[in-house]
Structure 1
Amino acid sequence: MAKKLKIRDLTLRDGQQSLFATRLTQEQVNRVLPYYKKAGFYAMEVWGGAVPDSVMRYLNESPWDRLKSISDAVEGASYLTALSRGRNLFGYAPYPDSILEGFYLEAIKNGLGIMRIFDALNDLNNVKSSIEKINAAGGISDGAVCYTVDPHYEVSFSDKLKSFFGGPKTPKPIFTDDYFVNKAKGLEKLGAKMVTLKDMAGLVTPSRVASLMPKLKSALSVPVDFHTHCTPGYGLASSLMAVIHGVDILDTNIWYFGGGSAAPAIELLYVFCTKLGVEMDVDMEVVGNIRKELEGIRKELSAYDLVKSFPKAFDPLQDTLPAEIDKQFDIAIEAAKQNKEQELLDACHAIEEYFNFPKPNLLVKEAEVPGGMYSNMVAQLKSLQAEHVLDDAMKLIPKVRMDAGLVPLVTPTSQIVGSQAVSCALDKLKGNPEYTTVSNQFIALVKGEYGETPVPIDPAFREKITGSRQEKPYDMSSYKAPENPVLPEYGGVKLAENEQEYLLLELFPNVATTFLKGQKAAKYKAVEPEKKAEEAPVADEVPVAEDPVTGSVIDAPMSGKVVEIHVKEGDEIKKGDVVIVYEAMKMENDISSPMAGKVKRIFVHVNDIVMANAPLIEFEE
Structure 2
Amino acid sequence: MSESQDARLTFVDTSLRDGNQSLWGAVGVTTGMAETALAAIDRIGLAAIDYTSSTNLLMGSKTHRENPWERISRARAAAPRTPLSAITTGMRFMSWERASETVMRMSLRLMARHGLRRLQIADPMNEVASVSTVARWAKEEGFEIVVAATTFTESPVHTDLAYFDAARRFSADPNIDAVYIKDPGGLLTVERTASLVSGMRDAVVGKPLELHGHCTTGEAPLVYLRAVALGVDAVHTGIGALSNGTAQPQLEATIQNLEAAGVALDLDRAALAEAGEIIGAMAAQQRLEPGPIMPFDLRPHVHQVPGGMMGTLRRQLSELGMVELVPAVVEEAKRVRADLGYPIMVTPFSQFVGSQALMNVLAERSGQDRYSRIPDEVVRFVLGQFGTPVGPIAPDVVERVTSLPRARELQHDPDSRTLDELHADYAKRFGRTLDEEELLLRLVMAEDVLESVLASGSAPGWQPRASASSATDFVDAVRRLPNWKHLRVVRGGDEIELVRAEHESGAAR
TM class, shorter-length: 0.7 to 0.9
The 1:215/1:373 distance shift into structure 2, 3 A limit, reads: same
What is the rounded CA distance, in whole Å, between the counterparts of 1:249 and 1:119 in structure 2?
Answer: 20
Unaligned runs of 5+ in 1: 151-172, 310-355, 523-608, 611-621
How far the C-alpha of 1:58 sits from its partner, in A, is 1.7
Assess if the C-alpha contact under 8 Å between 2:67 and 2:454 holds in 1.
Answer: no
Cα distance in 2 for residues equivalent to 1:361 and 1:518: 46
Residue of 182, 205, 208 corresponding to 2:189: 205
> In the superposition, relative to structure 1, how do residues 449 and 122 fare at CA in structure 2: closer, same or farther (>3 Å)?
same
What displacement does 1:400 show? 1.9
1:233 pairs, out of 198, 207, 218, with 218
Q: In the alignment, is residue 406 of structure 1 matched against residue 390 of structure 2? A: no
- 2:90/2:130 contact within 8 Å kept: yes
Work out the CA distance in 1 between the residues paired with 2:273 and 2:343: 41
Higher mean Cα deviation, 441-450 or 380-389?
380-389
C-alpha distance in 2 between matches for 1:300 and 1:244:
39
Q: Does 1:256 align with 2:247?
A: no
Q: Highest CA radius of gyration, 1 or 2?
A: 1
Alignment correspondent of 1:574: none
* Conservation of the 8 A alpha-carbon contact between 2:93 and 2:104: yes
Q: Which residue of 2 aligns with 1:184?
A: 167
**C-alpha distance after superposition, 1:8-36 (max 9, x if no partner):** 11122222222233322233233333333
Q: In 2, Cα distance between the equivalents of 1:231 and 1:459?
A: 32
In structure 2, stretches of 5+ residues that fail to align are: 460-503
Residue 193 of structure 1 is matched in structure 2 by 177
Aligned position for 2:128: 124
The answer (yes or no) to whether the contact 2:21–2:308 under 8 Å persists in 1 is no
**Separation of aligned partners in 1, 2:140 and 2:51:** 22
Contact in 2 for aligned 1:11/1:257 (Cα 8 Å)? yes
Structure 2 counterpart of 1:293, which letter? Answer: I
> 2:184–2:346: 8 Å Cα contact kept in structure 1?
yes
Superposition pairs for residues 154-553 of structure 1, below 5 Å?
Answer: 173-190=156-173, 191-221=175-205, 222-302=207-287, 305-307=288-290, 357-360=293-296, 364=300, 366-374=302-310, 376-377=312-313, 393-457=329-393, 461-467=397-403, 475-477=413-415, 484=426, 497-510=434-447, 512-519=449-456
Q: Look up the equivalent residue of 1:463 and give its one-letter code.
A: E
User: Contact 1:223–1:248 (CA<8 Å) still a contact in 2?
Assistant: yes
Cα distance in structure 2, aligned partners of 1:476 and 1:294: 40
Contact 2:341 2:390 in 1 (8 A): yes
SS at 1:50's partner residue?
Answer: helix
**What is the letter of the counterpart of residue 45 of structure 2?**
G
Q: CA deviation at 1:372?
A: 4.1
Distance in 2 of aligned mates of 1:290 and 1:521: 24
Instruction: Report how far residue 227 of structure 1 moved.
Output: 0.5
- Give the drift of 1:380: 5.9
Deviation at 1:378, TM superposition (A): 5.5
Deviation sequence 1:88-110 (CA, Å, 0-9, x none): 13431111111121221221122
Say which structure, 1 or 2, has more relative contact order (CA 8 Å, 6+ apart).
2
Deviation by residue 1:405-439 (Cα, 9 ceiling, x = unmatched): 21011122112112222323344444444322211
Please tell me whether residue 67 in structure 1 is matched to residue 72 in structure 2. yes
Please list the CA deviations of residues 527-546 of structure 1 after superposition, one character each: whole Å capped at 9, or x if unmatched: xxxxxxxxxxxxxxxxxxxx
Distance 1:510 1:239, change over 3 A: farther
CA contact (8 A) 1:44 1:81 kept: yes
Change (3 A) 1:99 1:285: same
Distance 1:473-1:179 versus aligned 2 partners, 3 A rule: farther
Question: Structure 1 pair 417/135, CA: closer, same or farther in 2 (3 Å)?
Answer: same
Cα displacement (A) at 1:176: 2.4
Aligned to 2:101: 97
What is the one-letter code of the residue matched to 1:400? V
Given residue 70 of structure 1, which amino acid in structure 2 is its aligned partner? Answer: A
Letter in 2 for 1:179: A
Cα distance between partner residues in 2 of 1:387 and 1:39: 38
| Matched residue SS, 2:64 | coil
Asked if 1:78 corresponds to 2:111, the answer is: no
Alpha-carbon distance in 2 for matches of 1:212, 1:456: 25
For 1:271 and 1:84, the matched residues in 2 are separated by 32
- Counterpart in the other structure of 1:47: 52
Q: Compared with structure 1, are the counterparts of its residues 174 and 290 closer, same or farther at alpha carbon in structure 2 (3 Å cutoff)?
A: same
- How far did residue 510 of structure 1 move? 4.2
Q: Report the Cα distance in structure 2 between the residues aligned to 1:117 and 1:361, rounded to whole angstroms.
A: 29
CA contact (8 A) 1:407 1:454 kept: yes
Q: Distance in 1 between matches of 2:320 and 2:62?
A: 24
Normalization by structure 1: what TM-score?
0.65
Q: What secondary structure is seen at the aligned counterpart in 2 of 1:47? A: strand
1:509 to partner: Cα distance: 2.9
Note the alpha carbon deviations across 1:145-189, whole angstroms, 9 max, x for none. Answer: 222112xxxxxxxxxxxxxxxxxxxxxx32222222222233334
Whether contact under 8 Å (2:11, 2:235) holds in the other structure is yes
Match for 2:235: what amino acid? L
- How many angstroms does 1:360 deviate by? 5.0
Amino acid at match of 1:216: M
With normalisation by structure 2, the TM-score equals: 0.78
Aligned length: 447
